[in-house]
Amino acid sequence: MISEGLDPILIQVTIPLPVPMIYAAFTDPAQITNWLADGAQVTAKAGGTYHLSWRGSTPFESPGKIVRMTPDLDIGFSWFAPPPFERLMNHPEPRTQVYVRLQESPEGVDITLEHEGWGASEPWEEARSWHFHFWEERLTRLKDYLIKTAYG
C-alpha cells in the first residue's frame, strides 16, 4: 500500500433488498456477470480467487484475490487496473484494493464501496477519476439488476 496519496474512492448506494441477496451479487460468479464483469471466477473465502474479466473495445482482466471476507457483511479484494493504467497500478503487484461493506439502514441495505491505495501524481489522479466513474456506473447497474431480479 502507498502510505500517502489521493483519498480513497468512496461510493454508497442503498438497495431495499435483503442482505444475503445483495452479498451474493458480490460472491456468485453468475450474478457478478450481470452487473460488474463479463466473466468471473470467485472462490468465496479469504485468500480465494476474485478474477474478473471484460471484453469489448478495451478487454482486460483483474486476477485479484480476496483479502478479507465476512459473509453477509464485507468483502475486500485486490484490484488489477485496465490497460491504460496497468503500468502505473499493477506492477510489481496490484497497488489498490476494493473493499465493500453492507449495513442495514431504514431504507434497505447501504452498500459502501471503498477503493484505496492511490498514489499522488497526475497519472494517479487520472486513474482514480476513471475508476470513480467505473464504480459509480457499476453500482448503479448492481442496483438495477437486483431490483429487476427481485421485482421483475
Low-confidence ranges of the chain (pLDDT < 70): 1-3
Residue 1's pLDDT is: 46
The answer to whether the bond into 84 is cis (omega within 30° of 0) is no
Residue 4's pLDDT is: 78
Helix%, strand%, coil% for the chain, nearest 5: 35, 35, 30
Residue 9's pLDDT is: 98
pLDDT tens digits, 36-61: 999 999 999 999 999 999 998 889 99
- Report d(CA 126, CA 103) in Å as an integer: 30
What ranges do the domains of the chain cover? Answer: 9-151
- Report d(CA 148, CA 152) in Å as an integer: 5
What's the CATH superfamily of 9-151? START domain (3.30.530.20)
